[in-house]
Amino acid sequence: MRAVIQGTGMYVPPNVVDNHRLGRIMGTSDEWIQQRTGIVTRHLADAGVGTSDLAVPAARQAIERAGLTPDDIDYVVFATMTPDFYFPGSGAVFAGKVGLKRVPCLDIRQQCAGFVYGLQVTDALIRSGQYSNVLLIGAEVHSSLMPWRSWDLVFGAADHPIDEEEYARNTSTRDRTVLFGDGAGAVVVTGADGEERGVVDVLLHTDGTLADRLWVNAGGSVGRPYFDPSMYEDGRIVPIVQGREVFRLAVTLMPEVMLAILKRNGMTLDDVALTIFHQANLRINESVQKRLGLPDDRVFNNIQKYGNTTAATIPIALHEAIEQGRVKRGDLLCFVGLGSGLNWGAVLYRY
């Protein structure tokens, strides 16, 4: 039994925020952001729009392209680090919005590696024979973590001077806040007998000693209370990214895990038609690509348009690669992700 991706879908909110807009509220510029990250634009959700709201249209598209209806889905795996609420998880909230009653929903928290971890879980569910049509979603609303107050300037709804104190406060976190975007990607995975296509192998790792390289040091059981206004005021709600260290880890561990999964399957880089890395930073992906010696036509990047959408980056990129004709039947694909935890891994998939 092979776990086969039968349909893909994506959705991003309509608000397109370019680098110039961010330059209105902090000390940054289009040149500064592009040079360091490769990002040109990102999509950000309105207040009141939750992660499950973005997941709904992405999932509906994936289900339709799989030739199924919501009633055919018998399991949901939902990967996010920005759930709608403290609890319950976004999987249940999403299921209620699309009318999935009594369908089990599993929420997972592997952040930027959420999709590759979710694909392993999905593959296991399919191979067990217990479930036939699993919906795997990666979705994020990172704008909820941004400390900005002048959202009217961010969205281009107003044009007024910004308070000097707010400008300085926003500038202090610019190295991280310019990275993120909101969006959702979804795939429908079904079981197929006698097929060469589908998930070939998954290789995952976690090193908890590196957790503080990339994390949010606010909102949790170590605090009293769990949430406190000071977490917002002192900027602790904004993800902490040890940029140089994360860069070093990514350009070391991502090539390593990709080569390892290929070796244990008796394959080489020459067998891979297209590689989709997690879209955290274009400069990271370019360095990984260079280290592996992969040509441009065998790597897919779209962070330039969407920024880092964490668990959604790989399914969004897969959807767009298929739409653009970058993938053909029989191609071997490799998905590689690394994120907070530290969690990382790779998936080999035969399209």
The predicted model gives 88-101 an average pLDDT of 96
What does the pLDDT read at residue 134? 98
Q: Which residue reads 């795996």 in tokens?
A: 77
What does the pLDDT read at residue 193? 86
CA distance 294 to 286: 10
Q: What is the pLDDT of residues 27-69, one digit of tens each?
A: 999 999 999 999 999 999 999 999 999 999 999 999 999 999 9
Cis, bond preceding 83 (omega within 30 deg of 0): no
What does the pLDDT read at residue 109? 96
Residue 340 amino acid letter:
S
What does the pLDDT read at residue 120? 98
pLDDT at 235 over 90: no
Q: Read off the pLDDT band of 1 (50, 70, 90).
A: confident
Domains and CATH numbers, the chain: 2-192 (3.40.47.10), 198-350 (3.40.47.10)
Q: Read off the pLDDT band of 90 (50, 70, 90).
A: very high
CB 55 within 8 A of CB 184: yes
Stated pTM of the model:
0.97
CA distance 38 to 323: 22
State how far the alpha carbon of 171 is from the alpha carbons of 26, 29, 45, 213, in Å.
5, 11, 21, 21
Kindly list the catalytic residues.
Answer: 112, 278, 308
Question: DSSP H helical segments within the chain, as ranges?
Answer: 19-22, 30-37, 51-65, 90-98, 114-127, 151-154, 164-171, 174-177, 229-233, 243-264, 282-292, 303-306, 313-323
Q: What is the pLDDT of residues 260-316, one digit of tens each?
A: 999 999 999 999 999 999 999 999 999 999 999 999 999 999 999 999 999 999 999
Q: What is the pLDDT of residues 5-26, one digit of tens each?
A: 999 999 999 999 999 999 999 9
Q: What is the pLDDT of residues 108-157, one digit of tens each?
A: 999 999 999 999 999 999 999 999 999 999 999 999 999 999 999 999 99
Q: Which among 137, 132, 161, 138 is positioned nearest to 68, based on CA atoms?
A: 132
CA distance 157 to 29: 19
Q: Which among 33, 58, 209 is positioned nearest to 135, based on CA atoms?
A: 58
Q: What is the pLDDT of residues 171-216, one digit of tens each?
A: 999 999 999 999 999 999 999 887 789 999 999 999 999 999 999 9
Q: Which residues pair with 306 in a beta bridge?
A: none
Q: Read off the pLDDT band of 233 (50, 70, 90).
A: confident
State how far the alpha carbon of 225 is from the alpha carbons of 194, 221, 230, 240, 332, in Å.
54, 8, 11, 21, 49
pLDDT at 232 over 90: no
